[in-house]
Structure 1
Amino acid sequence: MSRLRHNYRIGLATVRGRSMFPTYRDGDRLLVLYGARPRAGRPHLVQPPPSATGARPLSIKRVEHRTDDGWWVLSDNPDEGTDSRIFGPIPYRDMVAKILVRIPRPIGRRRLRRE
């Protein structure tokens, strides 16, 4: 009997922009799982297709549903950023990583004083 092997890797991603506000804020750090299958309703790190002016950066989007051509993804904040309403479905190969959890920001960081 053969065993299935998955190439899962854990990584970190940093939120840039306001397209996923209020779920995530600019600067939030996220723990991600590379190679995980997308699930409807869950946020995912995706590689959007290039625009007319060039490549787009990796983006965090919420997976809506599967289509024949890939996954339909949307921003939580429709007034900011781009999503499948602009560029269509994300091909299966460009679904990069599942968002596992937001890493909490430190509370009450103190500045060290030099004496």
Structure 2
Amino acid sequence: MREQLGDRGQERDRDQRGLLRIGLAEVYNPSMQPTLYPGDQLVVRYGAPVRPGDVVVLRHPFRQDLLIVKRVVERREGGWWVEGDNPYVKNDSREFGVVPDELVVARAWVRLRPRPGAGRGGQRSVAGLVSWVVSAVRPVRSRSWRRPRSASAVRSASRRLRAR
């Protein structure tokens, strides 16, 4: 527990000195699908200002040693309301409530998709590699975000996102 508190103190100290801090985070569960998939890497900026629509890395309010990735929905009394983009996974503010500011660690900046078959010889054709590069590196954009109301709206939005 002391190491965690010491790390947070160092983070605040670096933020006060105004250093740009960038890191990597990996997505492990499907709570952010269709935006992010397990295996995706995120380039994150520590201490960046947060606003509704941003994808953020935060400490789970009940297990602060666990980092999770969620989208900021709105500001509420006591902190931020965060939700995953996947309406069927409820490991978010619907389960644990408002997240205090001090638990928000970083804001996602860029998503990096893993190369298909990278561990099994990988993509060998030039066209396949170029296609992967074009689709693999994308900014994680802030957007005015509202959860679709029905399952058909979720499927429709998912199809539109895949078509891009």
Instruction: Work out the number of aligned pairs and report it.
Output: 106
Q: Which residue of 2 aligns with 1:16?
A: 28
Query: How far is the alpha carbon of 1:102 from its aligned partner?
Result: 0.4
Deviates more, 1:61-70 or 1:102-111: 102-111
Whether the 8 Å CA contact 1:38–1:98 is kept in 2: the answer is yes
Q: Which residue of 2 aligns with 1:106?
A: 115
Greater strand proportion? 1
Q: Report sequence identity in percent.
A: 42
RMSD: 2.1
Q: Which residue of 2 aligns with 1:49?
A: 61
Whether the 8 Å CA contact 1:43–1:63 is kept in 2: the answer is yes
Query: How far is the alpha carbon of 1:111 from its aligned partner?
Result: 2.0
Query: How far is the alpha carbon of 1:55 from its aligned partner?
Result: 4.9
Equivalent AA in structure 2 for residue 33 of structure 1:
R
Q: 1:59 to 1:87 in 2, by over 3 A?
A: same
Q: Which residue of 1 aligns with 2:104?
A: 95
Partners of 1:98 and 1:92 lie apart in 2 by: 12
Query: How far is the alpha carbon of 1:48 from its aligned partner?
Result: 1.7
Greater helix proportion? 2
Partners of 1:13 and 1:70 lie apart in 2 by: 22
Partners of 1:107 and 1:25 lie apart in 2 by: 13
Partners of 2:23 and 2:94 lie apart in 1 by: 28
- Structure 1 segments unaligned to the other structure (5+ residues): none
Q: Aligned runs of 1:20-99 on 2, under 5 Å?
A: 20-50=32-62, 55=64, 57-99=66-108
Whether the 8 Å CA contact 1:49–1:56 is kept in 2: the answer is no
Query: How far is the alpha carbon of 1:105 from its aligned partner?
Result: 2.8
- Structure 2 segments unaligned to the other structure (5+ residues): 1-15, 123-164
Query: How far is the alpha carbon of 1:37 from its aligned partner?
Result: 1.3
Query: How far is the alpha carbon of 1:108 from its aligned partner?
Result: 6.7
Query: How far is the alpha carbon of 1:81 from its aligned partner?
Result: 4.3
Question: Which of structures 1 and 2 has the larger relative contact order (alpha carbons within 8 angstroms, sep 6+)?
Answer: 1
